[in-house]
Amino acid sequence: MERTLVILKPDAVQRGLIGEIICRLERRGLKIIAMKMVQLSEEIARRHYAVHEGKPFFEGLIAYITSAPVVLMVLEGPRAIEVVRTTMGATDPAKAAPGTIRADLALTVDRNLVHGSDGPETAASEIALFFREDELLQYPRDTDRWLMVKP
């Protein structure tokens, strides 16, 4: 099973799209193993987006992500990172495939509703930044047998 971090950004929260976005991810078959709503501090935001430090958009990104509450989730499933990223769509909503979250619900690259980890190492470090190990729940779902083929 693969895990990934998803952040429903301030615009998703402010526009009342939390349920819509979670619904799309759950319908894919991903399991939520942790979730919380928080107001990100500037310190945590800077740590999360450290890879972008020094870029022209960095300070605006920090101001945006700390401007209102966000929803943090850890999702689990086969190829969870790829599934989330495909469901989200391209970073630029104008270039996102129809039917994706960003194509259907967002207009601009700087207000694109959702973040998803881009690889296994990133997912592990992002999850550890926002969640303690004891916050990641393990539980069976009756639907799992219908979503995953076992050898």
Instruction: List residues with catalytic annotation.
Output: 115
CA 15 to chain centre: 16
Query: Shortest CA distance to 113 belongs to which of 11, 16, 38, 18?
Result: 11
Phi, psi (degrees; rounded to nearest 5) at 120: -60, -40
Say which residue the tokens 């550890």 belong to: 128
